[in-house]
Amino acid sequence: MRLLEVTRRRIAFLREGMCRENGQALVEYALILGLVSVVTVAMLTATGGAVTALLQRVTSAFSSAL
């Protein structure tokens, strides 16, 4: 009889877990992360030339200082 009660409780626990919407939050975070990644790549592509030029000027300044 005790085994039957334990089994019923486990089944109820599993059913309750299946009904929750915990996966929805994970999907939302993944979509936000994807959007942030796309925006970051677009911004780096747009400003990549300016950043490269700035880093080259810094590198040449350090080289001439040494």
**pLDDT(22) > 70:** no
**pLDDT(61) > 70:** yes
Task: Determine the pLDDT at residue 18.
Answer: 58
- Determine which of 1-10, 30-39, 45-54 has the lowest per-residue pLDDT on average: 1-10
Domain extent listing, the chain: 24-66
What is the average per-residue pLDDT within 12-33? 76
Identify the residue with better confidence: 18 or 30: 30
The burial class, CB within 10 Å (0-12 / 13-18 / 19+), for 6 is exposed
**pLDDT(52) > 80:** yes
For 41, phi and psi rounded to 5 degrees? -65, -40
